């Protein structure tokens, strides 16, 4: 064993919470070590400590046996700790090589040919080959991530930290990434891999350390653990049964093809202001009592499609029918009135008014309901009572119904949004990434609520980048790529492989 | 809320301390000047009446700016709106005050000025709502238009020949005089301002339109997503903002001067921005900060008279106050961010 990095009793507190509680961790040379944990388990805090963004309250770090004191990320980079962030830190309209040398010491006059040579050499060694003159904006997400990795390698990183790297990748791109990581491991690089996806972790890692509530629960070697053990370690003994969601799914009403069509897009097309097509030839149907899944890599047209369906944008070509009626130019409020519910992908940006009370946030999209107002005057006591009641029903954890909603955790915020959208008569619910970033309890709760809503006859369109979630929840699947529907299939015929290929735009 | 008030009061005290250093530097003993100016201001008949008279236009312009700020709009045009309000009042007063008595004249002045100010503000409001033109620039530039329009009228059609070519109109008929409160020289513009501040607060807190404004001000995207017509909201709020600020013009010319004359506003409109900002754009808070700025105005006048200090000292005081209060706000948001970082 040859430890590259050692952490001893690393402790970090924020007001009111212990983010990292006496953490011990070693990273050996040539190993892939995964840090596994739910959201909020303290993974990010720990990585931010290692990469110099946070300074620990106590505890010590050793790099190759020597004490390591980091005051800022620049020092970490200089010492050979490289971080590949979940959200890429690239400049889109600069070239690959310009992005890679960014922030590295260079001669006053850039020696581009030398840099290019170095990049090509690194690329060849790890299978990260690129034309260094391409602009980053012209690369796919998977390629951009490779640029990020190259960037870190170029700086001579001894330790590579990858923060949830597969969250934005297709299954094929993920496979390619694993290959690169294995190659780097062979080459003696040490890799810290952060994830909450158990399957990929078990295949890839030499060792797995599970964090829970800021503490190390266990470290396991390759082959010495199982998904169920890891799940128990991550979630604690009170883990809800994964079967719980599944059983309900299988009880889907068998003959949905007889149900009424609620949402229908016919040859729908939408142009960007600059002229290019955001959506083209979209044909899509959602029936009552059905969950239809929309699979696709992030940025494939899901956002404009959602905006069309809820009335934020009007189509340029084709038709949008809701409950059998053409909706040309229907506004958001008209569609709300007709029974459209919407759980937006970016819940903080679209779903809430952060400084308003939780109870007041129940009025968004439902303001003119007589249970809240009378002739334009708000009935504050009714607003408060309704908020309190819904918060209890949906198990929203907050100090009170008068707390500003921005102070709630993501899961509780999402519960408020779901509670709001399902608390008035709905025909159709558009749920975009409804469980992203939520912990397993909140996820199960939300998914069960959606299944319950389906059983009550609601038409649901579920937009997600997580294929497993889609396969678990949906009755019928569409795949979107570059603004067009590239495939559709009933759940029984859906396979991850096939959908993954479609997502990248290739015909299966 | 209480933290904010504490911090604001603390920063005012800090400004007074820094101001005392300033006074000492120009050779005035602050330990002597503060109490004597304070006594004149609060206990002298002339002093406190002047305080309330100065507070009135500051309250109305400040409230106007604060209304726009509810949607994160910057109305820099309160000065121009004040001038336009004064022009509207003057036109109505010159035209009708001989033939109508006060019972008709005062409501006509109030409503007419309000409507005129709203129409004036509809220019930047419309440009902003439907063409996305930045309201900071349009409202600012319209100030010069309104001030020049007043000059044009004062040197032309409205000049009173009996004033020996001074640029002022003839005096209004008495039916256009705003009545005084009791036996004081303070006119009813002040209660009007306070009433409007309270009404604004009620509108925001207790009505559905106010709720839409609060949501849109907090998160415009969420308002769009909620089906609120945010373009209309922007338009309505900016128009309302200008209409309220224009009333400051009415209270000045109908309440004090009883005629339109050049330079009747000592930057009340621009100071209104400070009034609103100090109150963190809170419509009720504006009442307090308008009073505070009036104290600085009157205190400065007294320093000029009693200690022969230049007007620049007053501006320095204003600047210090703004500096400490806005500085303290950074401090507040820093603390806030730390909690969020959990």
The answer to whether residue B43 sits within a structural domain is no
- Give the mean pLDDT of chain A: 84
How big is the A-B interface in CB pairs under 8 Å?
Answer: 80
Enter the ipTM: 0.81
| Range(s) of the domain holding residue B72 | 49-308
**In chain A, pLDDT over 90 holds for what percent of residues?**
28
* Domain identity same for B10 and B60: no
A18 close to A72: Cβ distance less than 8 angstroms:
no
* H helix count then E strand count, chain B: 13, 0
* Domain identity same for B191 and B87: yes
* Domain identity same for B24 and B83: no
Rounded CA gap, A507 and A289, in Å? 30
* Domain identity same for B316 and B286: no
* Domain identity same for B269 and B202: yes
Q: Give rounded-to-5 percent helix, strand, coil for chain A.
A: 35, 25, 35
Q: What is the per-residue pLDDT across A274-308, written as a single tens digit (0 to 9) for each?
A: 777 889 989 999 999 999 999 887 778 888 999 99
The answer to whether residue B44 sits within a structural domain is no
Residues paired with residue A67 on neighbouring β-strands, in sequence order: A62
State whether A312 and B219 contact (CB < 8 Å).
Answer: no
How far is the CA of B333 from the CAs of A227, B5, B26, B136, B340, in angstroms?
Answer: 44, 14, 35, 24, 10
Cβ atoms within 10 Å of B260's Cβ, excluding its own: 27
The answer to whether residue B260 sits within a structural domain is yes
State whether B222 and A352 contact (CB < 8 Å).
Answer: yes
* Domain identity same for B58 and B179: yes
Residues paired with residue A480 on neighbouring β-strands, in sequence order: A485
Please state the separation of Cα A134 from the chain's center in Å: 27
B330 close to B16: Cβ distance less than 8 angstroms:
no
pLDDT-derived band at A493, boundaries 50, 70, 90: confident
Given a cut of 70, whether residue A39 has pLDDT beyond it is no
**In chain B, pLDDT over 70 holds for what percent of residues?**
96
Q: Residue B102 sits in a domain of what CATH number?
A: 1.10.3470
Q: Where is pLDDT greater, at B75 or A115?
A: B75
Rounded CA gap, A504 and A408, in Å? 36
State whether A363 and B206 contact (CB < 8 Å).
Answer: no
Rounded CA gap, A397 and A14, in Å? 20
Rounded CA gap, A320 and A334, in Å? 14
Three-state secondary structure call for residue A287: strand
How far is the CA of B23 from the CAs of A197, B26, B27, B310, in angstroms?
Answer: 67, 5, 6, 12
The answer to whether residue B33 sits within a structural domain is no
Query: Which residue in the set A14, A353, A407 is minimally distant from B341, CB to CB?
Result: A14
Residues in chain B: 342
- Give the mean pLDDT of chain B: 90
Burial A9-30 (b: 16+ CB within 10 A, else e): ebbbeeeeebbbbebebbbbbe
B213 and chain A in contact, CB less than 8 A: no
Query: Which residue in the set B212, B225, B339 is minimally distant from A15, CB to CB?
Result: B339
Q: Where is pLDDT greater, at A191 or A117?
A: A191
Delineate the domains of chain A, giving CATH numbers in brackets: 3-237 (3.40.50.300), 259-339+427-434+458-508 (3.40.50.300)
* Domain identity same for B92 and B149: yes
* Domain identity same for B83 and B4: no
* Domain identity same for B267 and B322: no
pLDDT-derived band at B337, boundaries 50, 70, 90: very low
Rounded CA gap, B47 and A264, in Å? 73
Q: Give the β-pairing of A159-163 and A291-295.
A: unpaired
The answer to whether residue B41 sits within a structural domain is no
Given a cut of 90, whether residue A256 has pLDDT beyond it is no
Determine the average pLDDT of the residues in A141-159. Answer: 83
Residues of B in Cβ contact (< 8 Å) with A360:
211
Angle at which helices B135-155 and B78-96 cross, to 10°: 30
- Among candidate residues B124, B118, B150, the one with its CA nearest the CA of residue B137: B124
* Domain identity same for B90 and B16: no
The answer to whether residue B35 sits within a structural domain is no
Give which of A311, A367, A387 to mutate to test B binding, by max B Cβ within 10 Å. Answer: A367
Determine the average pLDDT of the residues in B88-93. Answer: 96
Determine the average pLDDT of the residues in B236-262. Answer: 95
* Domain identity same for B265 and B208: yes
Determine the average pLDDT of the residues in B3-30. Answer: 85
* Domain identity same for B104 and B188: yes
Low-confidence winner among A124-138, A201-215, B127-141, B292-306 (lowest mean pLDDT)? A124-138
The answer to whether residue B252 sits within a structural domain is yes
Determine the average pLDDT of the residues in A6-28. Answer: 86
Number of domains in chain B: 2
Three-state secondary structure call for residue A275: coil
Distance from CA of A18 to the nearest CA of B (A): 10
Three-state secondary structure call for residue A290: coil
């Amino acid at each position: 064993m040859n430890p590259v990095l050692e952490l001893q009793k690393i402790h970090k507190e924020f007001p009111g919470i212990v983010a990292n509680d006496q953490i011990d961790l070693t990273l050996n040379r040539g190993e892939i070590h995964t840090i596994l944990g739910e959201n909020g388990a303290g993974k990010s805090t720990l990585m931010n400590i290692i990469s110099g963004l946070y300074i620990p309250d106590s505890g010590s770090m050793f790099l190759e046996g020597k004490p390591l004191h980091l005051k800022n990320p620049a020092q970490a980079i200089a010492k050979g700790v490289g971080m590949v962030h979940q959200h890429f830190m690239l400049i889109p309209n600069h070239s690959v090589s310009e992005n890679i040398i960014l922030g590295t010491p260079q001669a006053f006059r850039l020696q581009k040919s030398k840099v290019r040579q170095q990049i090509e050499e690194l690329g060849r060694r790890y299978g990260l080959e690129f034309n260094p003159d391409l602009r980053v904006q012209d690369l796919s997400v998977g390629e951009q991530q490779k640029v990020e990795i190259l960037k870190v390698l170029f700086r001579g990183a001894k330790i590579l930290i990858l923060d949830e790297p597969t969250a934005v990748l297709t299954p094929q791109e993920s496979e390619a990434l694993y290959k690169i990581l294995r190659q780097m491991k062979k080459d003696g690089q040490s890799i810290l891999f952060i994830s909450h996806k158990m399957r990929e972790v078990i295949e890839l890692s030499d060792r797995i350390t599970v964090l829970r509530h800021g503490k190390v629960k266990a470290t396991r070697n390759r082959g010495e653990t199982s998904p169920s053990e890891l799940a128990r370690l991550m979630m604690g003994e009170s883990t809800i049964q994964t079967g719980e969601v599944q059983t309900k799914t299988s009880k889907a009403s068998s003959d949905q093809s007889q149900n009424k069509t609620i949402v229908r897009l016919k040859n729908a097309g939408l142009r960007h202001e600059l002229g290019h097509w955001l959506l083209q030839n979209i044909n899509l149907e959602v029936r009552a009592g059905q969950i239809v899944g929309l699979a696709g890599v992030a940025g494939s047209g899901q956002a404009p499609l959602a905006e069309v369906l809820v009335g934020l944008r009007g189509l340029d070509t084709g038709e949008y029918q809701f409950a059998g009626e053409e909706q040309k130019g229907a506004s958001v409020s008209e569609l709300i009135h007709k029974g459209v519910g919407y759980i937006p992908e970016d819940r903080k940006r679209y779903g809430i008014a952060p400084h308003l009370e939780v109870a007041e946030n129940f009025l968004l999209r439902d303001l003119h309901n007589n249970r809240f107002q009378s002739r334009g005057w708000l009935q504050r006591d009714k607003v408060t009572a309704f908020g309190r009641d819904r918060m209890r029903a949906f198990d929203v954890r907050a100090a009170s119904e008068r707390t500003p909603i921005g102070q709630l955790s993501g899961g509780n915020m999402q519960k408020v949004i779901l509670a709001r959208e399902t608390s008035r008569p709905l025909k159709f619910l558009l749920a975009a990434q409804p469980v992203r970033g939520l912990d397993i309890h909140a996820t199960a709760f939300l998914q069960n609520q959606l299944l319950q809503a389906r059983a009550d006859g609601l038409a649901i369109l579920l937009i997600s980048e997580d294929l497993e979630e889609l396969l678990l929840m949906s009755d019928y699947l569409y795949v979107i790529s570059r603004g067009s529907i590239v495939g559709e299939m009933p759940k029984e015929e859906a396979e991850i492989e096939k959908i993954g290929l479609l997502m990248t735009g290739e015909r299966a | 809320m209480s933290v904010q008030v504490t911090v604001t009061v603390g920063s005012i005290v800090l400004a007074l301390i820094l101001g005392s250093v300033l006074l000492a530097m120009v050779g005035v003993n602050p330990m002597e000047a503060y109490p004597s100016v304070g006594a004149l201001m609060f206990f002298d008949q002339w002093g406190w009446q002047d305080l309330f008279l100065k507070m009135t236009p500051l309250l109305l312009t400040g409230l106007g700016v604060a209304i726009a700020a509810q949607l994160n709009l910057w109305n820099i045009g309160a000065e121009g709106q004040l001038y336009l309000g004064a022009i509207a009042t003057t036109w109505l007063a010159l035209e009708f005050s001989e033939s109508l008595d006060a019972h008709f004249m005062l409501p006509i002045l109030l409503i007419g000025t309000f409507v005129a100010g709203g129409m004036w503000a509809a220019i930047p409001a419309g440009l902003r709502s439907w063409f996305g033109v930045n309201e900071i620039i349009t409202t600012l530039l319209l100030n010069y238009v309104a001030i020049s329009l007043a000059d044009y009228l004062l040197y032309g059609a409205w000049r009173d020949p009996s004033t020996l070519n001074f640029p002022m109109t003839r005096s209004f008929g008495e039916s256009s005089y705003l009545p005084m409160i009791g036996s004081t020289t303070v006119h009813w513009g002040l209660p009007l301002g306070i009433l409007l501040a309270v009404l604004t607060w009620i509108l925001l807190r207790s009505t559905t339109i106010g709720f839409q404004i609060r949501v849109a001000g907090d998160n415009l995207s969420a308002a769009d997503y909620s089906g609120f017509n945010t373009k209309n909201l922007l338009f309505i709020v900016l128009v309302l903002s200008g209409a309220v600020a224009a009333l400051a013009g009415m209270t000045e010319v109908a309440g004090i001067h009883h005629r339109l004359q050049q330079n009747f506003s000592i930057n009340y409109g621009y100071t209104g921005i400070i009034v609103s900002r100090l109150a963190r754009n809170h419509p009720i808070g504006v009442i307090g900060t308008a009073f505070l700025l009036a104290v600085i105005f009157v205190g400065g006048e007294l320093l000029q008279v009693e200690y022969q200090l230049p007007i620049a000292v007053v501006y320095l005081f204003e600047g210090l106050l703004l500096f400490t209060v806005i500085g303290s706000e950074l401090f507040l948001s820093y603390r806030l961010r730390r909690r969020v970082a959990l």
